[in-house]
Amino acid sequence: MKFVVEVASMMRRPEMQAILKEKASAVKQRCGPGYGQDMHVGKNRANAMVFAETYQAKRDNIKNNTILKAVR
């Protein structure tokens, strides 16, 4: 059980947050204008996300799976 607690605390560390922010920023840049990014620290890990902010970006993402393709 101690191992699980150590991994969870490692996943919340500022170093992990910096890595996630960098990766999310790269995905956002590949998506183009109208996309945003956010990050929050949960109970077990830090989470980063990229999302469509504008109407045009939302339509583009629905039609072309832009975010999914940018992650690959």
The predicted-structure confidence for 4-59, as pLDDT tens digits, reads as follows: 668 878 889 999 999 999 999 999 999 999 999 999 999 889 999 999 999 999 99
- pLDDT at residue 2 in the model: 63
Structure tokens at 49: 């996300």
Specify the pTM: 0.84
Structure tokens at 41: 């620290």
Q: Which DSSP letter does residue 15 get?
A: H
Rg, the chain, Cα only: 15
On the CB side of 72, CA atoms within 13 Å amount to 4
Residue 50's closest CA among 16, 18, 24? 24
Helix, coil or strand: residue 45: coil
